Chains A and B, each alone.
Chain A
Amino acid sequence: MGAKSVGPLQYASRMEPQVCVCTSEAQNGLQKFRVVRAGAQSPEEVGPREAALRRRKGLTRIPEPEVFSASPNPLNWFGILVPHSLRQAQASFQEGLQLAVDMASLQIHINWGRSQLRGLQEKLKQLELGAA
């Protein structure tokens, strides 16, 4: 697999995001992010129930993992058999995404802290003016 076979030319023409973020706001106005994995169920969760259903219906076909995934794995854009290094890269980027979301929350915290500080500095100025 050459350097040219992993790149934008291999991207799918349709993509459904599997990772999103939700924002939540505390009482003091501080917001933060939380990773949300879209796509209803993992194959592991759906598998046993489907198997039970099939047994009741008298079917003996073994369920295939592809049927259960909510959205296709982007790894498949690059072929059926992908190098292990690409899988590892995917895992690293998935970890990286969680870190990025945490960092974004910290950034919001910094900005929130700045605006709190500015507000308090204003108040202090007013008090000093009042006392003078």
Chain B
Amino acid sequence: MAGRGKLIAVIGDEDTVTGFLLGGIGELNKNRHPNFLVVEKDTTVNEIEDTFRALGAFSAGEAEASPDHHDPQLLNETPNRQFLNRDDIGIILINQYIAEMVRHALDAHQRSIPAVLEIPSKEHPYDAAKDSILRRARGMFTAEDLR
């Protein structure tokens, strides 16, 4: 497992997740939580936040024992598959409209890896003004620095 590199995780709407899974990034087995989360109308902000946080932060040993999933519907009901906590995730792809729901969690994520990439969805085009990374970069220079 050490030799194969890090996973690409995705938090997105149905079409986004299906697309990237077609691309081959999905990992789903009974030993670990899946590296993807389909966000639907009834997905709570807490679920999204839990999933995102655990994907990248340092683990406080909060990982749950993973139940044996055979029903894809259960994927959305299982909380706490925290992407930031795992050290085997290199990139987190997240639809920007979902990133907006958990903007505070994204802004709090300071580490370079996992890299969090905000991407558009079918219904919500990308807006650079909302992107956490670009907002931080824009704040790099104050008026004083440029004197």
**What A residues does B4 contact at CB under 8 A?**
17, 20, 36, 38
Q: How far is the CB of A45 from chain B (nearest CB, A)?
A: 18
**Residue interface bits A79-96, CB-to-B below 8 A is 1, else 0:** 000000010011011101
Is A52 positioned at the interface, with any CB of B under 8 Å from its CB?
A: no
- A101 touching B18 by the CB < 8 A rule? no
Interface of B is mostly: mixed
CA distance A100 to B117 in the complex (A): 8
Q: A17-B25, A104-B91 are in contact. Are A22 and B6 (CB under 8 A)?
A: yes
**Residue interface bits A16-49, CB-to-B below 8 A is 1, else 0:** 1111111100000001010011100000000000
Which residues of B are in contact with A by a Cβ distance under 8 Å?
A: 4-8, 14, 17-29, 34-35, 38, 69-70, 72-73, 75-76, 90-91, 93, 112-113, 115, 117, 119, 133, 136-137, 140, 145
Which residues of A are in contact with B by a Cβ distance under 8 Å?
A: 6-23, 31, 33, 36-38, 74-75, 86, 89-90, 92-94, 96-97, 100-101, 103-105, 107-108, 110-112, 114, 117, 121
